[in-house]
Amino acid sequence: MKAYCSLLFFIVLTSSVTAQNYPSRSNVLWVTEPDHTDWLYQVGEEAKVAISLFEFGIPADKVTVHYSVGPEMLEPDSEGTITLDQGKGIISLGTATAPGFRDCWLTATLHGQPYKHHVKVGFEPEKLKPYTAFPADFEAFWEQAKREAAQTPMEVEKVFVPEYSNEKVDCYLVKLQAYKKGQQVYGYLTIPKKDGQFPVVFAPPGAGIKPMNPLKHLFYAENGVIRFDMEIHGIRPDLDAKTYKEISNAFGQHNNSYLVNGLDDRDNYYMKKVYLSCVRALDFLTTLPEWDGKNLIAQGGSQGGALALVTAGLDDRITACAANHPTLSDMAGYKAGRAGGYPHLYKKVDGMDTPQKLKTLEYYDVVNFAKLIDVPVFMTWGYNDNTCPPTTSYIVYNSLNTEKEAYITPINEHWVSEHTRRVILDWIKTRLQ
């Protein structure tokens, strides 16, 4: 195992209207510096964070900062205030009695405007283990599901998309029949515009129902890699944003979200179609004459990271997997008294804590697919992420029993930098056969 840690520790503010530490066009800057440069501590060890606050680049002297500290994603267990001396101060985050993360939320008011920020530190997270059980018939369930889905005829529509093509890349909008007759998924296929055969990257999407734009990933095809950016709901990805918003509203939120649709029955859960559609996408990609016949990589972030890992666990045609901050990971972790994975069913959605729903989730949780993966895996995540908490990313990583590498960027919330996107592609290139 290899692990890498980004040394970018300057973290900037979030205003009262956003949960992000990185808003644009602000006059105010937070800097938070844990007293361990890797942001990690031993269980029982006190963690301290030095904070600095600047306005127009000048230390904000004598400003009072309110702080609250507690276990990640749970209620705070301590709070207080500190008055900054020349814009600086030190706060204790206390310690943890078990592996996990603690969060410190900060609020300062300047000229009547509140400015917020938060920072997390970890305590022996390499020892975190999943709460989610591995069903005895897990593999048998999915093998049977794949056999049933394979009975659906392969039907493909492929249309050239000039607006996403250039002198180096050809882009196509693809429609695939998936899972059952009449159920389809879409995706943008980008292929290097030159002679030869190339590796294929299968890239499922992040969570939600929203338009797709392959432009930010054209650099894959420009670097000699075929890429398929997949849509999972059977909705054309080229519809306008307003139409997508209306569709998303129709799917609902929380108790009516697609991520809770059918949870009382493992055979009727919405994500069964999604997982099996990922396998169907591989059926299509492995027929491409431009494919090199060897390299088939699953890659994605958030829900896409979850689906990349799921696909790698489901299908042995995958030769490597790269995932950042995966969702759907140890979702029932809240029942263990710590953070659980997105969509935070046991924190934000009513009526989820039933034996049947818990049992269904065991068949769809990423940690159980991670245990089946036997190809190289690259994962990256940040510590300040409240969408996919670092607790759950560590649990997935710790569950992998294969060659694996971690690229940890502590400052990150629920995003990756452009640099990290390139790091992922560079790793993929090192795993080509």
**DSSP letters spanning 185-218:** EEEEEEEESSSS-EEEEEE---SSS----GGGGH
State if pTM tops 0.85. Answer: yes
Q: Indicate if 240 belongs to the active site.
A: no
Same domain, 163 and 101: no
**Local structure of residue 18 (DSSP, 8 states):** -
**What confidence category does residue 254 fall into, taking pLDDT thresholds of 50, 70 and 90?**
low
**DSSP letters spanning 309-354:** HHHHHH-TT--EEEEES-SSSSGGGGGGTS---TT-HHHHSTT---
Same domain, 328 and 262: yes
Q: Three-state SS for 160?
A: strand
Same domain, 99 and 173: no
- Mean of pLDDT values over 185-213: 95
Q: Indicate if 325 belongs to the active site.
A: no
Instruction: Quote the pLDDT of residue 387.
Output: 96
CB–CB of 325/393 below 8 Å?
A: yes
Tokens representing residue 232 in the block: 């999972």
Query: Catalytic one among 165, 344, 385, 393?
Result: 385
pLDDT digits (tens, 9 = 90+) for 371-401: 999 999 999 999 999 999 999 999 999 999 9
Same domain, 382 and 314: yes
Residue where one domain finishes, among candidates 94, 127, 160: 127
Mean pLDDT over the full length of the chain: 92
Cα dihedral angle (126, 127, 131, 135), rounded to 10 degrees?
90
Residue 246: inside a domain, yes or no? yes
pLDDT digits (tens, 9 = 90+) for 305-355: 999 999 999 999 999 999 999 999 999 999 999 999 999 999 888 888 999
Same domain, 373 and 281: yes
Give residue 30's domain range: 7-127
Same domain, 122 and 142: no
Please name which of 300, 271, 297 lies closest in space to residue 368, comparing C-alpha atoms: 271
Residue where one domain finishes, among candidates 72, 105, 127: 127
Same domain, 153 and 60: no
Q: Indicate if 118 belongs to the active site.
A: no
What's the burial of 54, exposed, middle or buried (CB within 10 Å: 0-12/13-18/19+)? Answer: middle
Q: What is the CATH number of the domain that holds 340?
A: 3.40.50.1820
In whole angstroms, give the CA distance from residue 323 to residue 399: 14
Q: Between 270-285 and 303-314, two packed helices, what is the crossing angle to 10 degrees?
A: 70
Residue where one domain finishes, among candidates 127, 149, 175: 127
Place of tokens 């960027």: 409
Same domain, 147 and 121: no
Tokens representing residue 69 in the block: 């500290």
Q: What is the CATH number of the domain that holds 94?
A: 2.60.40.1930
Query: Catalytic one among 302, 329, 393, 399?
Result: 302
Going by DSSP bridges, is the β-strand pair 14-15/64-71 parallel, antiparallel, or unpaired? unpaired
Query: Catalytic one among 117, 217, 344, 414?
Result: 414
Check residue 410 and give left, alpha or beta (phi > 0: left; psi -120 to 50: alpha).
Answer: alpha
Same domain, 279 and 298: yes
At 400, which amino acid appears?
L
Q: How many domains does the chain have?
A: 2
Measured CA to CA in angstroms, residue 97 lies from 45, 178, 201, 330 at distances of 9, 47, 42, 20
Tokens representing residue 291 in the block: 């494919």
